[in-house]
Amino acid sequence: MELKNSHNNNRKSKIIHRNIGIETLRMFLCFRIVLLHYYSSNNDYILKMKRNRFQVSCFFFISFYFLYPTISQRNIQKLKIRLERLLIPYLIYPITNWIINNLMFLLIKFNRYNRLLTIKDIKTQFIIGRGIYGIASLWFHFNLIIFTLLFFISFSLIKNYCLIFFQILAIISYNIQYSQINYLFFKQYTENIWMSVGNLIETLPIAIFSISLASIKFHDILSNNRKKCFVFSFLFLNFLSNYQVFEYLRGFSSTGIKHIFSSLFLFSFFYLIPLEILHLKLLLFIKQLTQYTQGIYCLHFIFQYYMRLKFEKKGSFVGCIVLYIISYLTSCIGYNICSKSKLKLLFI
């Protein structure tokens, strides 16, 4: 009995070490993204939720917070693992989308785009991370790949003053955003350009702020002041959701300093949720639920069109839940089929 308890405690310790709270946050953000893309009914509360577009910014915050040890230690092996996790979905999903839609058009004269896709379409997707005839949500991976390489190379070359350099760059980036230079310059181009390349300037300060906090071990500060930070984060998040604290700023999806505050307090709140008090079986269940955010993020964008076509033209809240579940189950099945190959990175 003691041996069994010890084994369970070790498993529980490993799950908590991964911080199941942050994994739960990823799942919450992923559902918010599904809601943003699919919901189009008229519920005022949900429409207000859609307008608070912090979800992708928070994903950036989480991603670069946990990247910091890799870039600060200049760990080539971990860099390769991260690039694999980003490049495999970035390359495979557009190719799969291209093949399936072309087969559909050849066989039944119908696909999502009502035409055959060309080599140029897929090239556009690869070059700027987004295409009218591709998977638009992959601009996120495009930005992550660019910033990962930028940070790793810079930390390898500049070393001692790299963080100061990037913090100055973040200030310049905000000046460009608040002066509207970024918006006015990129808005003259197509949506594909401004949602990927124009977004680089908006998301860069979030990534810089995140690695700056990681450099001072912000998670230790949270853990050492757990109750105070948990309550303060909860109160501040409520304040941000109920009051217009920051001025409206024209931009693309991550404009302005409000995205840093939203990401910071969401990260803090979920990091500090005392999930360690839960039973091991419940923790394992939560871990299973939070495992496939990569697949859900990419697949929901493909599935949403056919759901609108076959079931509901105006996406409902229930439809968002159904779309999330379909994307989750597809990711789960795909992962189990590909579990022995690197293709499993398409889903986790």
Look at residue 318 in the predicted model and tell me its pLDDT.
92
Cα→Cα distances 284→2, 13, 28, 275, 300, Å: 21, 12, 17, 11, 24
Q: Report pLDDT digits (tens) over 200-226.
A: 999 999 999 999 999 999 999 999 999
Residue 6: pLDDT over 60? no
Q: What is the pLDDT of residue 320?
A: 94
Domain that includes residue 253, residue range: 2-346
CA distances from 347 to 52, 185, 254, 297 (A): 27, 36, 25, 9
Nearest to 69 by CA among 223, 215, 203: 215
Total domains, the chain: 1
> What is the pLDDT, as a whole number, of residue 70?
95
Residue 325, token pair as written in the block: 């579940």
At 53, the pLDDT band (50, 70, 90 cuts) reads: confident
| pLDDT value of residue 18 | 57
What pLDDT score does 98 carry?
92
- Between 139-157 and 55-65, two packed helices, what is the crossing angle to 10 degrees? 30
DSSP lists the bridge partners of residue 315 as 39
CA distance 227 to 165: 34
User: What share of the chain has pLDDT > 70, as a percent?
Assistant: 93
Q: What is the average per-residue pLDDT within 233-253?
A: 83
Average pLDDT over residues 159-188: 90
Cα–Cα distance measured from residue 15 to residue 279, given in angstroms and rounded to the nearest whole number:
12
Percent of the chain's residues with pLDDT above 90: 55
Please provide the average confidence, as pLDDT, over all residues in the chain: 88
Quick one: average pLDDT of 154-160?
Answer: 87
CB-hemisphere CA count at 13 Å for 167?
Answer: 10
Q: Mean pLDDT throughout 238-258? A: 81
Tens digit of each residue's pLDDT (9 = 90 or more) over 93-123: 999 999 989 998 999 888 888 899 999 999 9
Q: How confident is the model at residue 302 (pLDDT cuts 50, 70, 90)?
A: confident
CA dist 201 and 253 (Å) reads 11
Tell me the three-class secondary structure of the chain, residue by residue. Answer: CHHHHHHHHHHHHHHHHCCHHHHHHHHHHHHHHHHHHHECCCCHHHHHHHHCCCHHHHHHHHHHHCCHHHHHCCCHHHHHHHHHHHHHHHHHHHHHHHHHHHHHHHHHCCCCCCCCCCHHHHHHHHHHCCCCCCCHHHHHHHHHHHHHHHHHHHHHHCHHHHHHHHHHHHHHHHHHHHCCHHHHHHCCCCHHHHHHHHHHHHHHHHHHHHHHHHHCCHHHHHHHCHHHHHHHHHHHHHHHHHCCCCCCCCCCCCCCCHHHHHHHHHHHHHHHCCHHHCCHHHHHHHHHHCCCHHHHHHHHHHHHHHHHHHCCCCECHHHHHHHHHHHHHHHHHHHHHCCCCHHHHHCC
Given a cut of 90, whether residue 9 has pLDDT beyond it is no
Q: Which residue has the higher pLDDT, 73 or 312?
A: 73
User: Quick one: pLDDT at residue 12?
Assistant: 55
Distance CA 105, CA 50 (A): 33
